[in-house]
Every structure is written in structure tokens, then in C-alpha cells.
Amino acid sequence: IPENPSNSTPTTPSIQVSDGYGTLAAVRSVSYTTVAGISVPVEVNTAVAAFYPSPGSTTFSDAGTVTINSKSLTKSSNNAYVYQNLTDPLSFSTVTWSVSGSSSVPAINYTEDRSLPSFSGYASLPTTITRSAGLTIALGSSVSGADSVYVVVADYNNHSLIKRVAGNASGCTITAAELAGFTAGQGMLQVVPWNYKSEDFNDKKYYFVLESAYTRMGITIN
């Protein structure tokens, strides 16, 4: 969940699973900047992975070396993995994972057979949200390749709201009551289509996620 929507690369919602031994996610983040009056997309690709000693665990297991498209993810002190080298950007024309494994995590080699989901409706996202009126975001045919969509609203005072709808939903409605606690000023609006597939390795289920986050920064909240 975004904690500070003023960041240029805001954190996208994490995908939670309760019956698997790990989640490996390729994440495309798209924000827009205005150049000569034209909105230009700025894309940053990253990847995250976490492996659990048992389904539903809140701690992570060491999984050895984890790579996506032959590029190594960095293991943090809590054994979560993230791709951090933005000087060597990822391309998601294909997505191939490789995990060397450990005593508790099997070796994993997996290539996606799906494309990253997309959202073509950025231009129609509002630049102003009136809390008393609520908010409806049109989705429908603007979303492709998604099982589900998150819609995220956040202000600059650490208030945030995430709503999940089906990948084929016509839209997402956030009520005035849900926005009542937000602070007037600037904020962020994010549309995040995603899909997932599970695969078994050594009789353990692992989830592979493809996620795209489209962010409009600096919206006005009235």
C-alpha cells in the first residue's frame, strides 16, 4: 500500500496468497510526465519474490539465488527478494524465473506464457476527486489480460484505500463514506490490473503474478 504518494515510483499493492509456498511477481509501473503539453508514459519494470516455510506464514525462507530474465534479485535481511538495479532495466518481452533453491525451497524454473495486463484508460482518469461525491473509475474494455484490478486512492497524509474488482468489471466505485477520512490537498490515483497462475514444484504450490500499475500523481482532493 502506498505510504507516500509523492514518491516518483510509488509502491504498488502486494498480492496476498494463503495456500502457497511462495509468490513471484513481475511488476510494470507506469507513470506519466508532461512534455510540451503531451503526457508521456514513464515505465519502470521490477520484480519481487517471497518464499514461505508454510502456507500463510508471515516469515520468509531463503531460496538461494533468484533471477528474472537472467538478472539477479537482491535478498533483503528478512529473505524477501526484489530487483533493484534500475541502471540495468528489465524488459518484460518475456518473463523467465529461475530459483536455485535451498533446504526448504525447491529449484524452480518457469517461463510465463501470458502477457502483462494493461490499462489504456489513463487519459480518462480524473485529476480532481470530490470526497462528498465519491468516485467511479471506468474500466471495461480499457483493461486487458487481467484476472483482477486494484484501484488505489491515497492522499499525502498517509490515508489510502484499495478496492479490488474482477478483471472484466465495467468500473470501480468508491463511495463518499469511503473517502470521508481523506485529507484535502494533493494525492494519487492508481489502477493496477494483474493476473496470476499457480504451479507445483516438489508438491509445493507457487504463484506467478503479472502486475501493471498505472499511476496519476498530484491529483486534487477536495
Per-residue pLDDT tens over the stretch 148-173: 999 999 999 889 999 999 999 999 99
Scanning the structure block, which residue is given the C-alpha cell 472484466?
168
Is residue 9 scored above 60 in pLDDT? no
Q: What is the pLDDT of residue 107?
A: 98
Chain segment 17-63, per-residue pLDDT in tens: 778 999 999 999 998 776 777 777 788 999 999 999 999 898 999 99
**Higher pLDDT among residues 148 and 16, named by residue:** 148
Residue pair 190/6 in contact by the 8 Å Cβ criterion = no
Q: What is the pLDDT of residue 2?
A: 32
Q: What is the pLDDT of residue 199?
A: 96
Q: What is the pLDDT of residue 182?
A: 96
Burial of 115 (0-12, 13-18, 19+ CB in 10 A): middle
Is residue 189 scored above 90 in pLDDT? yes
At 10, the pLDDT band (50, 70, 90 cuts) reads very low
Which residue type is seen at 116?
L
Is residue 195 scored above 90 in pLDDT? yes
Alpha carbons 78 and 168: distance in angstroms, whole number: 36
Average pLDDT over residues 173-195: 95
Distance (Å) of CA 36 to CA 20, 41, 98: 48, 13, 42
Half-sphere exposure of 120 (CA within 13 A, CB side): 6
Chain segment 73-131, per-residue pLDDT in tens: 999 999 999 998 888 999 999 999 999 999 999 999 999 999 999 999 988 899 999 99
Q: Tell me the pTM.
A: 0.86
Q: What is the pLDDT of residue 16?
A: 62
Q: What is the pLDDT of residue 8?
A: 39
Is residue 11 scored above 60 in pLDDT? no
